[in-house]
A = this chain, B = another copy of it.
């Protein structure tokens, strides 16, 4: 892991990011790696928002992971700021390499730097390996995550 670099995602990283989003049992049904237009539009919006941090992990010039960190100010918990980690993906070749751990640890450290008091994420109920992973890293499975497509 000597040369691992975690850095903001650049426009040129979009194809590699989308390929990782699609290479996943759930993502395969939801992504369209052959048409990058909607991703490019979303990237431009994300890049303009100072509370959004889409990052990639890179080694030897190759993008091997991505995640999105969102900073959310709030009134509850004495005006606490929280962060939300979304869209965590590690390239298939790199799973089990410890990259996931380093990546989430980076997100937690970055959240602290941004003044957050709480880090949260949701994980699909079917991803039981991921649940054990997050608990090992110190997260508590204290909540039920509800979603609705509109």
Give A contacts to B, CB under 8 Å.
14, 17-18, 21, 27, 30-32, 38-43, 45-46, 49, 51-52, 54, 66, 68, 70, 72-81, 84, 86-87, 108, 111-112, 116-125, 131, 134-135, 137-150
Residues on the B chain within 8 Å of A38, using CB: 78-79
Extra pairs beyond A119-B148, A120-B148 (7, CB < 8 Å): A14-B75, A31-B78, A39-B78, A42-B73, A49-B73, A52-B72, A119-B150
Query: Taking CB as reference atom, which chain B residue is nearest A9?
Result: B75
Q: Tell me, rounded to whole Å, the shortest Cβ–Cβ distance linking A109 to chain B.
A: 9
Assess whether A131 is in contact with B144, with CB atoms less than 8 Å apart. Answer: yes
